[in-house]
Structure formats: C-alpha cells, structure tokens
C-alpha cells in the first residue's frame, strides 16, 4: 500500500480515479477477508487436533475433527465431485442450480414486496388517517414468526388459480419473501415521501400542481435517498425469506432445500452441507452486489453525503 501515497496529488483528487481505487481496494479486502476466514478455520482445526479439543480440561466449543469441520480444500474439492455415487452432475452444478432457483423466487418476492411497500407508503402519505391506521399493522406484520406463517400461505394457495395459472408452491415461497421485503420499503418509502419541506410543497402548490404531479416530480425523487437503503434491506430480507420459506414449506429445487437435504448426510459426507451453505452465502453476495449497482444508478447526480 506504500505505492498509493506516491501517486501524484492531481490523480489523488480526481474523483473517478479515487472511486476506482476504492472499488479495487474493496475487492482486494474481500479476497483477503476470505483468506483470513479460511486460515482461522484451518488454524482452529489444527489447534483443536493437537490438544485433543481440550484446554486445561475444558472442552472447546466445536469439535475439530474432519467429520465436524472438514478441511477447506475438501469442501472446495467437493464442488467438483458428483453429487452422489452414480450421478453425473457435480455438486457445484446442483448448488448453482439451487441458488439460481432461489434467486428467481426471491427476486419475484422482492418485486412484489417493493410494489406493495411503495403502494402502502403512497397511501399512508396521501391519507394521514391511513398512516395512523395502517402503520401499527405494518409493524405488527413483522412480528409474526415466518415459520408459523409459511404453512398458512401454502394452505391458502392450495387450490388457487390466478389468471388461469394454477398456484405453484414456489409462488407461496415468493409471497413469504415479499412479506419480509415489503416492510422496509413501506417504512423507508413513507419517510422519503414525507421528506420534502413545506417550502417545496408550497412551491408545487403555487404552480397549482395536482397531487399526482407533486408525487411524481417532488415526492418520489425526494424519496430516492430513503429508498436505496430500504431496497438493500428488502433484497436481503427476500433472500432470507425465500430460503426459510423453502425449508418450512418443503419446496424442492432451491438452496434452502439443499441445505436440509445435505445436512442429513452430514455424518457420512461432512463437506457436502458446507457447499450448500457457501452457495446460500454466495447468493446473498450476488443480491447485495445487484442492489449496489441499483444504488449507483439511482444515486448518480446526487450530492455525495459522508464518505
């Protein structure tokens, strides 16, 4: 990093150069963090094995044998091997397919959640009575445990036909993902729509602008800085919601299902369950990256606040 300080001051001040340097640094840090994590894992294993999982007569919190903590390289190698004996497709392909399935369901839930959340925010902003009436229920909705909700949603969807399409199990999963995703959007959206000051609203009034015009030209653009973090939360929630909902509804084909399936084989094939968990983590990262791009697009030409 010593080289950085020797770069001419002009380049240092160029915002594009600085921005790219930040991005490169972020990628390097990410790779470094992964390496540190792997080193910690292997270090713990090595230490546990050499002291027999006991220090001064106390048991270590986790057992370090290969059955409980497979080597990092075993887990990585497992990705390239067949899922089970006699099958031709690898674990990597299966996990990727599962992550792709969950990704699509989570995104369907995300989109539905954003639409519903924004609609609620607009209604609550428009009618103060609706805000007082609706907001407590919006908050209350998030205290219902997902595991209790999942079978209910599946039950309701059971015999449903929407626009001539039979209700599918994945749709229930998407609905549950949406149930988690709409909340931050409704709250952040409401804050954002209420963000313009009285002078800005009076300005629109002085132009005799309609409610719709004020919404479109003032409130929605003013809400963007509030919506970006809300969308980040919503995206993360929709993935968590989709994974948990897959498990509790028994939906096949997704990463949540793989985690359950593989964990049943944990004693005979300990590396396997970790592949599914890494797949789920990677899915979360991909979604976070996508929302990061959305952030860049939505916040361009905006004043940069803070760092």
Tell whether residue 16 is a contact of another protein (CB under 8 A). Answer: no
Alpha-carbon span 75 to 275, nearest angstrom: 6
Tell whether residue 207 is a contact of another protein (CB under 8 A). Answer: yes
Residue 165's DSSP bridge partners are 162
- Nearest CB to another protein, comparing residues 116 and 224: 224
- Nearest CB to another protein, comparing residues 65 and 202: 202
Minimum distance of another protein from residue 301's CB (angstroms):
6
Q: Interface with another protein by CB under 8 A: which range of 13-21, 29-37, 49-57, 204-212?
A: 204-212
117: tokens are 């959340």
**Of these, 203, 266, 286, 294, which contacts another protein (CB under 8 A)?**
203
**Of these, 15, 199, 212, 307, which contacts another protein (CB under 8 A)?**
199
**Of these, 149, 218, 259, 273, which contacts another protein (CB under 8 A)?**
218
Pattern 274-303, binding to another protein, x per CB under 8 A? Answer: ---------------------------xxx
Alpha-carbon span 138 to 191, nearest angstrom: 14
* Among 172, 170, 181, residue whose Cα is nearest residue 255: 170
**Of these, 119, 224, 240, 282, which contacts another protein (CB under 8 A)?**
224
Alpha-carbon span 162 to 270, nearest angstrom: 43
**Of these, 5, 143, 161, 206, which contacts another protein (CB under 8 A)?**
206
Nearest-10 Cα torsion for 303, 205, 127, 302: -10
- Nearest CB to another protein, comparing residues 17 and 216: 216
Count CB atoms within 10 A of the CB of residue 157: 18
**Of these, 209, 240, 266, 290, which contacts another protein (CB under 8 A)?**
209
Alpha-carbon span 107 to 115, nearest angstrom: 12
- Nearest CB to another protein, comparing residues 148 and 208: 208
- Nearest CB to another protein, comparing residues 3 and 303: 303
* Among 247, 120, 233, 116, residue whose Cα is nearest residue 172: 247
Minimum distance of another protein from residue 12's CB (angstroms):
21
Residues binding another protein: number (CB under 8 A)? 19
Residue ranges that bind another protein, judged by CB under 8 A: 197, 199-200, 202-203, 205-209, 213, 217-218, 221-222, 224, 301-303
């Amino acid at each position: 990093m010593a080289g950085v300080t020797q770069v001419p001051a002009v380049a240092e001040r160029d915002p594009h150069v600085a921005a790219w340097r930040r991005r490169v640094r972020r990628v390097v840090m990410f790779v470094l963090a992964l390496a540190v994590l792997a080193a910690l894992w292997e270090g713990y294993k090595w230490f546990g094995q050499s002291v027999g999982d006991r220090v001064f007569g106390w048991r270590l919190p986790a057992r370090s044998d290969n059955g409980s903590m497979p080597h990092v390289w075993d887990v990585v190698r497992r990705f390239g091997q067949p899922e089970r004996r006699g099958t031709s497709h690898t674990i990597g392909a299966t996990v990727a397919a599962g992550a792709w399935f969950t990704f699509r369901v989570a995104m369907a839930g995300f989109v539905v959640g954003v639409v519903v959340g924004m609609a609620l925010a607009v209604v609550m902003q428009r009618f103060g009575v609706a805000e007082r009436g609706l907001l407590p229920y919006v908050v209350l909705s998030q205290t219902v445990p997902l595991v209790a909700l999942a079978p209910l949603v599946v039950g309701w969807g059971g015999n449903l036909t929407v626009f001539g399409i039979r209700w599918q199990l994945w749709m229930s999963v998407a609905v549950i993902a949406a149930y988690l995703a709409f909340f931050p959007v409704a709250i952040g959206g409401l804050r954002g729509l209420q963000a313009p000051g009285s002078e800005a609203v009076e300005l629109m009034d002085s132009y005799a602008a309609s409610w719709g015009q004020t919404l479109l030209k003032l409130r929605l653009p003013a809400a963007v800085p509030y919506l970006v973090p809300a969308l980040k939360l919503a995206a993360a929630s929709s993935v968590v919601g989709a994974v948990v909902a897959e498990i509790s509804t028994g939906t096949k084909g997704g990463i949540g299902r793989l985690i359950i399936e593989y964990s049943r084989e944990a004693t005979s094939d300990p590396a396997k369950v970790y592949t599914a968990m890494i797949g789920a983590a990677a899915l979360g990262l991909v979604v976070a990256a996508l929302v990061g791009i959305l952030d860049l697009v939505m916040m361009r030409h905006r004043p940069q606040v803070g760092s």
